[in-house]
Each structure stands twice: as structure tokens, then as C-alpha cells.
Amino acid sequence: MIRLANEAEIAQWDDLVLANADGGHIYQSSEWAKVKEYNGWETIYCIYEATAYIVAFVLLRKPVSILGSIYYCPKGPGFFTSYQSNQDSRAHFSEFIYDIKTFLKHYDNQAIVLKVEPELECEDKFEFSKLELIKSSSDLQFKATIFVDLKPSEEAILASFKQKTRYNIGLARRRGVMVESRAMDDAGVDLMYELMAATQSRAKFFLRPKDYFGHYWRALGTAKMANFLVAMHDNDVLGGVFITHFGTKAYYKDGGSFDTKRNLMAPYLLQWEAMQWSKKQGASVYDMVAVPPRAELNNPSHHHYGLYQFKKGFNETTTEFMGCWDLPINIQKFKIWKSQEQNYLKLYAKMKKNLFW
């Protein structure tokens, strides 16, 4: 059964999400829901419950003109332990899909589609297509990543890196690169955005407005769920990373660097310092986020190829998820939406100077 969460449950929302089978994801936290509300989404806190089994999940809702509303469950719902399914989780997730379709039809007669993206490895035998789920035309979050295990000692973690990565971390230290934590105040927001803009000019990726980043940087910093680390040499800023954590998981959320003194290898030391900080917060895994899917790992033209060349020095094993899937709620409206989705999203980005998602 699926129902709306009550006030008491919403008051302890993050604890409920962390108790999910997947251990929770920061994109299902109450703090991230508030961030998305700031950017035009409505939050609906929901509970799936069966005998001795509960999953707390956030739905986000946004209207798309007169056609109706899109629903999105970012990095959820959290049914799958260790990114794999078993008989029990498959049964519950199947029931969830059946129930959520009925729930949304009654909750909102303007509902068009629900997008779900639970973190389930792409090799898993669970076939989503048998549940009336349709693979989305694009994945809303990065489909492939590299995880670094933070459970061993710092010495053992460092020893697990490739020799060149260890060397570059040591080189940065020997040449006087220092990493410091900065407040995410106005000056911090300005600096981090400058770093990202400098990186964007080299890599040519889409960069959201500063207000979008600044809002969640401040919000997660105030909630003690993040840290802003800056690499310095003498009085020069070389680079920075914004790291988040939620429960036992830490995430490399944002990063950037200037062209200044790139020979000092500051990004390597930044990542190592970020992992050490994450471990101190209780994280047992560090999600490096964003590498090419396995089929594209050796493709130099892939836009994440350079990121992979850097990140694989910390762990060469990639984890690839099944990505984002569509559950049509109103099939007629869904067909119209699918035929116009890409045009609508391009127009939205042009008009709003921001991404719909």
C-alpha cells in the first residue's frame, strides 16, 4: 500500500529514508526536497508499506503547460540493497509500481508520467520492462560512477590507489599545496562558481545559473551535510570541490579548477582530502559520480572520458546503473509528452536559462 506520510513521519524524514533497504540517498532527503522546491518542484512525501516492510520516498511534481504534470522520484525509490535485487525486493518493487500508478491516478488527474531511477546495477536480472516501465529517452542523473570504499584505514585506502595517483597526491603536498575548508557564504559561492565556470569554458558542459548552485550549497552547508574544500598554493586558488554526505554515503557533488599551476596536481590532493573528511563524517563509501558507461570507457570522444582518466586512479572498477525509467500514468497524454519532450525541454532551458530537472 502507498499513502501520504503523516506529519510525524515528515518530521523524522531523513531517518526513515536512511532506514530504506538501499541505505538512503541524499536526493531523497528532506533537505534536497527543499532545494527542489526552491526550483519550482512540489514535494510529496510518501510511504510504501507491506508486512514488516517500509520504504519512505519523495515524489517531485512539476507542471508542463496545460498537458498536465510530471512526477519524478530522484535516485529512488530505495528498494534494493547493495545495488542488487532479490526475490523479496523484486516482489515489493513490482507491487510498488502497481500501487503507485493507482495512487497517482487518484491523487492527481493531471498526472502524465512518473520517472523512477532506483540504484540497481545494469547487470541485474530484474527486467523493468515487464512492469510497464519504459526506458526514458535520457538519464536524469549520471548512470555510471566509481565508488571508493572508505571502510579500511586511511593507509589502506591510500595504498589501494594507482601508483601514479598516490604519486600525484604526494607531489601536491611536497610542492606546498594546502587544502582548507571554506564557509559557503557569498564569497564561497562566488569562488566555487568561478571555479566551475573556468572548468565549463574548457569542457563545454551546460552550467546552471549561480543562484541554483548557491542555494543548495548554502542549504546543505547549513544542514551540516556538506563541505567546501579549496586547494591553495601561496596565495593562489587552484581548485575546489563541494562534497556532500548522507548517512554512510558521501558524494563528490561539484568541482572546478583554474588553469593556474596545473602542474601541482591539486585535484588529486583535493579528492584525497575529501575522502578523509567523508570518512570522519561516518561515510563508508565515497561516490565519485559521473564516468562514461562501460561501453564508452575507452572512447576519447565521450564527454566524460577525461573524468574517467582522472577518477580511475582512485578505483578502476565502475558501477553502472539501470538509469531512469518512465511509468505512464495517462497513456494518451504520455504519448503526446514523449513526442514533444525534447522540444519542450530545449525551450524550457532557453527561456529559463536552467534545466527543467
Per-residue pLDDT band at 203 (split at 50, 70, 90): low
Say if residue 173 is in the same domain as residue 191: yes
Looking at the fold, whether 223 and 282 belong to one and the same domain comes out as yes
Q: Mind listing the pLDDT tens digit for each residue in 249-307?
A: 999 999 999 988 999 999 999 999 999 999 999 999 999 999 999 999 999 988 888 88
Taking only the tens place, the pLDDT of each residue in 131-156 is 999 999 999 999 999 999 999 999 99
At residue 209, the pLDDT reads 87
Are both 262 and 251 inside the same structural domain? Answer: yes
Q: CATH number, domain at 258?
A: 3.40.630.30
What strands lie across the sheet with 325-328, from one edge to the other?
2-4, 42-50, 53-64, 68-73, 111-116, 325-328, 134-135
Mean pLDDT to the nearest integer, 193-199: 91
DSSP-derived 3-state class of residue 71: strand
**CB neighbours (10 Å) of residue 166?**
17
User: Do both 154 and 137 map to the same domain?
Assistant: no
Whether 300 contacts 312, CB under 8 Å? no
Residue among 30, 123, 140, 137 at smallest CA distance from 80: 123
Residue-wise pLDDT for 205-214, tens only, equals: 668 889 999 9
Task: Tell me the pLDDT of the chain averaged across its residues.
Answer: 95
Q: Which residues of 322-337 are buried (b: 16+ CB within 10 A; e: fewer)?
A: bbbbbbbbbeebbeeb
Q: Are 257 and 238 in contact (CB under 8 A)?
A: yes
Is residue 357 one of the residues assigned to a domain? no
Whether omega for the bond prior to residue 77 falls within 30 degrees of 0, making it cis, is: yes
- Asked if 271 and 346 sit in the same domain, the reply is no
Tell me: do 151 and 108 sit in the same domain: no
The single residue listed with the C-alpha cell 610542492 is 175
- Tell which residue, 141, 50, 145, has the closest CA to residue 88: 50
Q: What is the predicted pLDDT for the residue at 200? A: 77
pLDDT tens, residue by residue, 30-68: 999 999 999 999 999 999 999 889 999 999 999 998 999
**307 and 326 share one domain:** no
- For residue 201, pLDDT beyond 80: no
pLDDT on residue 292: 92
- Confidence at residue 303, expressed as pLDDT on a 0 to 100 scale: 84
Q: Cα–Cα distance between 52 and 9 in angstroms, integer? A: 17
Max CA distance (Å), the chain: 63
Task: Specify the DSSP class assigned to residue 68.
Answer: E
Same domain, 170 and 301: yes
The reported pLDDT for the residue numbered 204 is 59
pLDDT at 165 over 90: yes
Q: Is the pLDDT of residue 106 over 70?
A: yes
How many independent structural domains does the chain possess?
A: 2
Backbone angles phi, psi at 128, to 5 degrees: -60, -30
Mean pLDDT of 110-114: 98
What pLDDT is recorded for position 306? 87
Whether 31 is covered by a domain: the verdict is yes
Q: Do 71 and 134 lie in a common domain?
A: yes
Express each pLDDT in 309-357 by its tens digit. 999 999 999 999 999 999 999 999 999 999 999 999 999 888 888 888 9
The pTM is what?
Answer: 0.94
Work out the pLDDT band at 92, boundaries 50, 70, 90.
very high
Which SS3 state, helix, strand or coil, does residue 238 take? strand
Cell of 260: 593556474
